[in-house]
Chains A and B, each alone.
Chain A
Amino acid sequence: MSTRRFFTVAVLVSLLVAGVASYYASTHPDGLEYVATQTGFLDSAEESATADSPLADYQTSGVDDARLSGGIAGVVGVLVMLALSTGLFWALRRRGSPADTRD
């Protein structure tokens, strides 16, 4: 598989996972939240300072359709991640010589 094809497939998979498949994810509390409820420390949680963000809780504010709201948040998140992380790693890379593969 060519590198270009590999990267195209991987980006498409990420977009589909975040934009489409995420709608079908479990809505149950995660392990930590569940334990916090069970043992009685959930109430000590405070609302995040970014709770009013337009994409808070992976939902797009102002979009009523749940599938679309979550889908937009997922796709925007993936695009932001791709830009930020690729930019960071591209800036950090060693130029010219191949990377050291020792551990």
Chain B
Amino acid sequence: MHVPDGFLDAPTSLATAGVAAAGVAVALRGARRELDDRTAPMAGLVATFVFAAQMITFPIGAGTSGHLLGGALAAVLVGPWSAVLCLSVVLGVQALLMADGGITALGTNITLLGLVTVVVGWGVFVALRRVLPKRTALVAPAAAVGAFASVPVAALVFTGLFAVGGNAPVDLSAVVVAMLAWHTAIGLGEAAITGLVVASIVAVRPDLVHGARPLLAHRELEVREVATS
């Protein structure tokens, strides 16, 4: 969903650049709480993996394709603040090195793919974790649902931006319907990849999964209670 230069007018691009800069600034402060000697390399790894995975575009029919956005995946693996920074580095490298996503559109892309997907993906994940049984086996399904939701919401936010500052006079209702339909389909791919990756890591190293750590603490507490009784 990388937005190229030219889709949005200058005032809108400037506004999203402001939103992106503010989001990254807040994330730089928040991420300190998530990062230590053990989780900092993990965050670097997650950013790198998201970059690699975004190169795999999968067909979704009718001559269209999609790829992982990775906001929900990164948030569950390394925490929401670090996830914003992961996606920002990915989008920056893509725009500067690979000409993928515009330069003046970088703020728009960080807003859509770095902020919206992380907020929605992490929000849905945390809400599900709260109501689901406290089991690490449910971390991956909850992450997948968050990932699924994040894609059409990001598509909707793009359409909103396009309604405000789109450079081409086109029928907005057609844009909103098409964006939602295709990105709901892409969301299924996002959910599958996110679920698979989170499940694989939870299986071998659940302690490296940010979103699973509260459940691990819960599990250890239970063990101690049994041991002392």
Asked if B20 is at the interface of the complex by the 8 Å CB criterion, the answer is: no
In the docked arrangement, what's the CA distance between A74 and B48, Å? 11
Contact call A44/B51, Cβ cutoff below 8 A: no
Contact call B103/A28, Cβ cutoff below 8 A: no
Contact call A73/B41, Cβ cutoff below 8 A: no
Contact call A86/B100, Cβ cutoff below 8 A: no
Contact call A50/B99, Cβ cutoff below 8 A: yes
Mark contacts of A1-22 with chain B using CB atoms, 8 A cut-off: 1 yes-contact digit, 0 otherwise.
1010011001101110110011
Choice from A26, A32, A90, A99 contacting B33 with Cβ under 8 Å: A99
Contact call B204/A1, Cβ cutoff below 8 A: yes
Choice from B37, B41, B93, B126 contacting A103 with Cβ under 8 Å: B126
User: How many of B's residues come within 8 Å of A, CB to CB?
Assistant: 81
In the docked arrangement, what's the CA distance between A34 and B31, Å? 36
Evaluate whether A89 and B95 lie within 8 angstroms (CB atoms) in the complex, with A38-B178, A44-B168, A48-B4 already known: no
Contact call B43/A89, Cβ cutoff below 8 A: yes
Determine the residue in chain B with the shortest Cβ distance to A100: B33
Looking at the assembled complex, report how far the CB atom of A27 sits from the nearest CB atom of chain B, in whole angstroms: 8
Contact call B175/A35, Cβ cutoff below 8 A: yes
Evaluate whether A48 and B99 lie within 8 angstroms (CB atoms) in the complex, with A90-B40, A94-B35 already known: yes
Seen from chain A, the residues whose Cβ lies within 8 Å of a Cβ on chain B are 1, 3, 6-7, 10-11, 13-15, 17-18, 21-22, 25-32, 34-36, 38-41, 43-51, 53, 55-58, 73-74, 76-78, 80-82, 84-90, 92-95, 97-103
Cross-chain pairs A/B with CB under 8 angstroms, 24 sampled: A1-B204, A1-B205, A3-B205, A6-B204, A7-B41, A10-B45, A17-B55, A28-B57, A31-B1, A31-B185, A35-B175, A35-B182, A36-B7, A41-B7, A50-B99, A57-B99, A80-B93, A81-B51, A81-B93, A86-B41, A88-B44, A89-B41, A94-B32, A102-B33
